[in-house]
Amino acid sequence: MWVPSHRGITGNEKADKAAREAINSIDVTDSLLVLFTDYFLNIKENIYTLWTELWKKDQENKGKWYGSIQDNLPVKPWYDKLKTSESRDFITTINRLRFGHNTAPSHLARLGIVSNSQCIHCQAEEGTIHHIIFDCQSFIIQRLVLASELSDTNAFKCVSSSRPPPLNFLLKDPTSYKPIYNYIKNTIQTI
């Protein structure tokens, strides 16, 4: 059924007239109009806050390795300033180490890609990336070079022992990326 809304009802007619007069008496362009672009910063901050909260919550179940390397959620990737000076292979190799997804035998076995998680270079231990970089007996000379190069990095200077710090600690420091990359290229060649 059609109902005539404001017509003939005195109270509604007065309210409608008052609303029209109010709209016409205010210069909307000066006082009430807010440009959408004024909200961009606020929206961006809110999205970043929500993203950070979700990222921290996710680390309770997954992403613990990356969380141990990356303390805060970055706005730009770590390699943003290196794009022009470093190769794609360098960035890919370091990313694989930082994310913990690599071609080390133990990782491939965990994913069900290979059946044996033993180190393919020395056959002595489980082939974790930590073992390959720090303990594998097949790469003693290359490891000495790595230790020498790492001794000049910020991460190594922060530790009091003569042994290099854990891999996740080294991966927090971009100055250690090049020595680690060189070690990988001179030993297992790809990760």
Least confident interval from 54-58, 96-100, 181-185 = 54-58
Look at residue 167 and tell me if it is in a domain.
Answer: yes
- Specify whether 50 is located in the same domain as 106: no
Together in a domain, 14 and 58: yes
Any domain includes 51:
yes
Q: Looking at the structure, tell me whether residues 104 and 176 fall in a common domain.
A: yes
The whole domain housing 156 covers 88-186
For residue 15, what pLDDT is reported? 80
- pLDDT value of residue 159: 66
Which helix (H) or strand (E) covers residue 163, if one does?
none
Task: Provide the whole-model pTM.
Answer: 0.73
Query: Exposed (0-12), middle (13-18) or buried (19+): which is 23, by Cβ within 10 Å?
Result: exposed
Question: pLDDT at residue 40 above 90?
Answer: no
The verdict on 94 and 181 lying in the same domain is yes
User: Is position 38 within any domain?
Assistant: yes
Q: Indicate the number of domains in the chain.
A: 2
In this predicted structure, what is the pLDDT of residue 176?
Answer: 92
Q: Is residue 147 part of a domain?
A: yes
Asked whether residue 49 is domain-assigned, the answer is yes
The CA radius of gyration of the chain, in Å to the nearest whole number, is 30
Same domain? For 65 and 111 the reply is no
What's the pLDDT tens digit per position in 143-191? 999 988 988 887 777 666 666 788 999 999 999 999 999 999 999 998 8
Rounded to whole angstroms, how far apart are CA atoms 69 and 100? Answer: 10
